[in-house]
Amino acid sequence: MAIAIDTKKNQTIVVVDDDLDIQDLISAYFKPKGFQVICFSDAESALKESLSAGNKWDVLLADLNLPLMSGIEFTVAIKKLLPNLPIVLITTSKSAEIAIEAIQKGAYDFIVKPIHFPQLQVSVERALHINHLNQDIGELRERVKLSGRVQNKIIGRSPRFVETLEIAKRVAKSTANILITGESGTGKEVFAKFIHEESNCAKGPFVAINCSAIPENLLESELFGHAKGAFTGAYDKKMGLFEEAQDGTLFLDEIGDLSLSLQAKLLRVLQERKIKRVGENQQRAINCRIISATHKELSTEIREGRFREDLYFRLNVIPITIPPLRERQEDLILLAESFLRKFSLENSSLARTFSKETLKFILENPWRGNVRELENTIERAVVLSTESEICLDNLLPFSRDLWPHAEEKTENQKQNTFTLCYEKQLPELDEVITKYIEFAVQKNGGARDKTAKEIGIDRKTLYKRLLPTSPSPEI
């Protein structure tokens, strides 16, 4: 039974035979079936061409009795150049034993003249199947090499994103606390893992907690641990995440949702580098790098009394702001193709490419959920696709709910953002100035000195505008 092989990729069969009639017969048989057929009359020409085009070849059919070079010599030579290329040898019944020897040298299979084309097709399709498996195995090996490293590789080439990544690389070796800001789904935890892997504590653990996902009465125990009997249900003592992250990195995601009482306790830990488990008086020394993240504007949270200013300055020694996906237009296709490869491999899917309409859709939509939304959309499309190409219909059933007019520019996109925000009531001038400064700081990735210089104010004024309820820090 023949193995079903997708020929929409226009797979390439290479024929090496000095018999022009054989070349014509093979070409006439496979071309109508959707294959591209390339023919050579001698081994030397095929070897020479393989140096530049060999990675595009899918299967090779070669006569065992070639002029100037034997089929076995050719098999050995081509295998050195293209070790994963499957080779099917064409031989006479008298040379079958030699063909078996060639298989021991790396050929995949052989057929005997006169060629029985249905048999040849089965052999070719099996060889193509082996070639696909080899490609998948190669990808798996690359992923295994990256085990222990950040699984979600940081992908991007847009200027703002590259600048943000360079900042992360520069500060990774330091011991300073880092605050990562950005919209939901931009990849704040991926950046935190990257910083950890590039830091001097990479051999230690990376421990992450989402501060908004755990009830306040349990979060203190999760962070600091508890003694046996400290509260109802504490049947045994428990080590907290600060201790688990010893000599490594503790990532506090959504730090902006931490209650004021826990903020005070966290501030003390950061100052003293010691923790006390709930229900204990014993202090325990901790040694871990603190990376925090939030999608909230902490300067606003401070002004409105929901976040401590002193904790903010402790956490925000080095600020890193990740730009939203809508400001990373150059990265959209890179990310989409990366997710396509990842999920095709994980789900043994035929999906390998995007249609032109799909690429246009990816580029023109806002991706309000950022990288997370794009990743989830591609995963669903891959899982449900039955073809090698992801078509627009694979994406739209999920996207129409979010973007009813996905293929059209929305009215909001055409209007001035400032007008939309204040069309009912004009803001006070002081508010506009503050918003402008916050925008400028965010645009510069949190670089306040650079921002102050660019917009023409001194640093003290900038700090006062960002935190108007607090005294300006000493510069």
Residue 379 sits at the vertex; the CA angle it makes with 378 and 381, to the nearest 5 degrees, is 65
Whether a cis peptide bond, with omega within 30° of 0, leads into 114 is: yes
Count, residues in the chain: 475
Q: Describe the chain by its helix, strand, coil percentages, rounded to 5.
A: 50, 15, 35
Structure confidence at residue 425 (pLDDT): 58
Q: Which domains does the chain have, with CATH numbers?
A: 12-145 (3.40.50.2300), 159-323 (3.40.50.300), 326-411 (1.10.8.60), 416-466 (1.10.10.60)
**Which residue, among 233, 161, 244, has the nearest Cα to 209 in the 3D structure?**
244
Structure confidence at residue 445 (pLDDT): 67
Instruction: Say which residues have a Cβ less than 8 Å from residue 320's Cβ, sequence separation at least 6.
Output: 164, 167, 168, 171, 178, 179, 180, 181, 191, 445, 446
Structure confidence at residue 291 (pLDDT): 96
Give the number of other CB atoms < 10 A from CB of residue 429.
8
Please list the pLDDT of the chain residue by residue as tens digits (475 residues): 444 444 445 789 999 998 899 999 999 999 998 899 999 998 888 988 888 776 788 899 988 888 888 878 888 888 888 888 888 888 876 666 776 777 777 888 888 888 889 889 998 988 888 777 766 666 665 555 444 444 446 888 899 999 999 999 999 999 999 999 999 999 999 999 999 999 999 999 999 999 988 888 789 889 998 888 777 777 788 889 999 999 999 999 999 999 999 999 999 999 999 999 988 888 999 999 999 999 999 999 999 999 999 999 999 999 999 999 999 988 999 999 999 998 988 888 888 889 888 898 899 888 999 999 999 999 989 988 888 888 888 876 555 444 444 444 334 433 444 444 444 556 677 777 777 787 787 777 677 777 888 887 877 777 777 764 433 333 3
**Which residue, among 265, 234, 237, has the nearest Cα to 252 in the 3D structure?**
265
Q: DSSP readout, 188-212?
A: HHHHHHHHHHHSTTTTS-EEEEETT
Structure confidence at residue 456 (pLDDT): 79
